[in-house]
């Protein structure tokens, strides 16, 4: 099964922009750089895996 879920990231001056690549006009999130780094580390560690 191929997963077609995808997000786009953009480097902003004080944040990382995040949006759904299949619905770019549906809105976006701006996450502070430190919070985004923490989220990436948690995802890599499996802290947000679906059980």
Q: What is the pLDDT of residues 2-34, one digit of tens each?
A: 667 789 999 999 999 999 998 889 999 999 999
Q: Could you tell me the pTM of the whole model?
A: 0.74
Give the pLDDT score at 40. Answer: 95
- Residues with Cβ within 8 Å of 15's Cβ and at least 6 positions away in sequence, in order, are 30, 31, 32, 33, 36
Give the pLDDT score at 13. Answer: 93
pLDDT(1) > 60: no
Helices (H), 1-48: 33-44
Residue 10 to residue 20: CA distance in whole angstroms: 12
3-class secondary-structure state, position 4: coil
């Amino acid at each position: 099964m191929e997963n077609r879920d995808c997000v786009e990231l953009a480097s902003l001056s004080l944040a990382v922009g995040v949006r759904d690549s299949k619905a770019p006009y549906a809105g976006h999130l701006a996450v502070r750089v430190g919070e985004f780094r923490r989220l990436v580390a948690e995802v890599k560690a499996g802290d947000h895996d679906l059980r």
